[in-house]
Amino acid sequence: MACLRRRKHCVQPQQRVSIPVLIVLANQVPHRCFLSQPIMIFRFFCPFFILFFTPIASVQAFTGTYGINYGRIANNIPSPDEVVTLLRAAKIRNVRIYDADHSVLKAFSGTGLDIVVGLPNGQLQDMSSNADHALNWVKENVQSFLPDTRIRGIAVGNEVLGGGDYSLWGVLLGAVKNIYNATKKLNLDQLVQISTANSFAVFVDSYPPSSCKFSDSVNQYMKPLLEFFQQIGSPFCLNAYPFLAYASDPEHIDINYALFQPTKGIYDPMYRLHYDNMLDAQIDAAYAALENAGFNKMEVIVTETGWASNGDESEAGANETNARTYNYNLRKRLAKKKGTPHRPKNVVKAYIFALFNENSKPGHLSERNYGLFKADGSISYDIGFHGLNAGDSSLLSLKNINTQGLSRSYTMVFSLSSMILLIFWIVAMALAHGTEGEEHVVGGGAGWIISPAGASFYSSFAANNTFRLNDTLVFNFKTGAHNVVTLSKKDFETCNVNDIMESFNTGPARITLNRSGDFYFACAFPSHCILGQKLRVHVTASLAPAEAPSPAVSRHSRATTVTLPLVLIAAAINVLHIGAEKEPSNRGNLVHKTNI
C-alpha cells in the first residue's frame, strides 16, 4: 500500500496561497438589514447593529485552526475588496497569498484579517545574494503596510526543496536569513514569522508514517534550514494533498481513507497507532522525518490542502462530490481542535487550497478547480459557506423574506426585535461606561522588544498614551525570547530582576491595570532591562473629571435605559397580537414557504 508515497508534488511551484477572516457585510447594510417600506427609518441603526455583532480581533500568528489560500492566477475573479467581504461573511480570518500585491494589502487594511505574504521563487536568488535588496523588499511590502494590514508572516519561496529548479535549492537558506535579518533590523521579527512551504517531494518512505525521513538529496539543504527555523521559532510548513496521493494510485488506496469517511484505515506497527484518515498520517509522517533529523519539538502547519472538483481523465477522484466531502469533513476535523495520533497535543492547523477556481493556471485541469468559490463569488459546492450572492445562502436572505410570504406585521415584529437588541446593547454599553478599559499595545507594531532607541522607546510610548483604571496592556513577544515581569520602583530603576512581583512568560501577555498609581514592567531575560526593555506607566482614575456625569444625570440615564427597552418589547407584542388577529390566513403560507 503506497498511500503516502508521493516522490514529487503534482503541482507547479508558486501557484498556491492562504489567509484568515471575520464578520458581516457593512457595505451591504442598506438593503439587507431591514425589509419593508414602513420601517425604512430603522435602517439608520443598521451599522450599529452590525458593530454589536462584530468580534474583536486579537494578535496571533494563526488564530484558530482554519485558514485559506487566496490565489490569483485568473482574469475573472472578484476584486480584493470583494474578497474581503467574502472572507468576512465566511468568518475565515487566516489568509495566505503567494506574493505581496499592494492592492490586496491595501484592501486588507483595517479588516482584522491575518495575512501571510509570499516572496516568489523568482526573487530568491536576488534576496539571497543582496541583503540590502531583502531589507528594501521588507520595507516596501511589509513595514509600509503595518500595523493597519495585519501581516503576520512571510513565506520565502514555495516548494523549493524537492522542486525541479535545482539552482534554487542552494539559495533558499540565504534568502530566508536575509529576509529574517531585515525584519529584525526593522524591529518586526517579534511580529512577522518567516517560513517556507514544502511538498511531499522532500520525503522518502512515508508509509507507514513512522518510517518517513528526508531524502538524501534534500537533506543537505534541509538540515541547516531547519536549524535556522528552530533558532528563530518557525514551524515546518507542509503542503499535504490526500487527493494527489489517491489520484496517483487509486487501485491501492481506499478513497474513504482519503476523504475522512468511515474506513478500517491503516496501522503503524512502530508507533502502534491507528490512522482513520490520510491527512493525519501525512502530518505524522512529517513529524517522523523531523524527529529522524533531530528536530523533535518543531511544529508542523499544513499550508496547503484541498481536493479538485474537476480534472483530467487520468486524475482519479477529481469531481465535485469528492471535493465537497473532503472539504466539509476537513472543516469538521479542524473544528475539533485536536492533534494527530502521534502528536495529540499539537492541534492541527491548515490553510485550505484554494479560495477560487483559477482559470489561468497551467498544468492539469485539476489545477484550475480547487476553489471553494467560483470566479463570480458563488460557492462551488455547499460546505457551509455563503457566496457573494444572496442566493448562495442555504438560509433565506432578509431581502427576500417579503417575497416569500411574510406579512407586514411579522416584518415589523422582526425589525422591532432587532431594535430591542440594539437598545439592550446601548444599555450595556452605558452601564459599562467607566468600568470597561481601553487596550494599549505596548510598542505598537514593533511589540515588546529590545529597541535600538533604548529605554526612550518605551518612555515615549508611555508619554503618548493615557492609562486609566481597567485599561489593558498587551505585550506582543515571542515565547522563549522575552517575558514580562512586574517590579518595585527601586528594582525597576536598577534593573534588578531577581526580586520580581509577578511574571508573564507566554506571549502575547495581557495585563489589566487594576489600580491607580504607577506600574513598573521589564523583561527579565539577561541584560534586556539594562538595554532598555522596561516600561513605567501611570494609571489615573477611569474617567476624567470633565467626563464624569452628575448623579442626577446618571440616575435619569439608568431609568431611561431600563424603561425604553420594556416599552419597545410591549410595542412588539402588541403588533404581533394585531397581526395575528388581522391576518390569520398568512400563517399557513408562511410555514409552507419557509419550508421550501
Active site residues: 159, 304
- The rounded distance, in Å, linking the Cα atoms of 57 and 94 is 12
Where helices occur in 54-171 by DSSP H, the ranges are 80-90, 102-107, 124-129, 131-141
- The rounded distance, in Å, linking the Cα atoms of 423 and 316 is 56
- The rounded distance, in Å, linking the Cα atoms of 133 and 370 is 34
- Tell me phi and psi for residue 313, to 5 degrees: -60, -30
Strand partners, 153: 116, 193
Assigned C-alpha cell, 340: 494527530
- The rounded distance, in Å, linking the Cα atoms of 190 and 528 is 15
- The rounded distance, in Å, linking the Cα atoms of 112 and 476 is 16
- The rounded distance, in Å, linking the Cα atoms of 392 and 89 is 12
Q: Which of 6, 15, 112, 9 is nearest to 354 (CA)?
A: 15
Q: Is 384 left (phi over 0), alpha (psi -120 to 50) or beta?
A: left
Exposed/middle/buried for 36, CB within 10 Å: 0-12, 13-18, 19+? middle
- The rounded distance, in Å, linking the Cα atoms of 450 and 118 is 27
Amino acid type, 189: D
Q: Strands 502-504, 300-305: parallel, antiparallel or unpaired by DSSP? A: unpaired
Q: Which of 16, 45, 186, 6 is nearest to 118 (CA)?
A: 16
- The rounded distance, in Å, linking the Cα atoms of 296 and 269 is 20
- The rounded distance, in Å, linking the Cα atoms of 32 and 29 is 5
DSSP state of 19: B
CA distances from 342 to 106, 145, 345, 411, 492 (A): 41, 39, 9, 54, 45
N-to-C CA span, the chain = 47
Amino acid type, 158: N
Q: Do residues 263 and 256 touch, judged by C-beta distance below 8 A?
A: yes
SS3 content of the chain, % helix, strand, coil (to 5): 40, 15, 45
Edge-to-edge strand ranges of the sheet holding 484-486: 467-468, 534-540, 517-522, 484-486, 502-504
- The rounded distance, in Å, linking the Cα atoms of 568 and 427 is 14
CA distances from 95 to 27, 107, 136, 149, 308 (A): 21, 13, 24, 12, 20
Assigned C-alpha cell, 143: 513595514
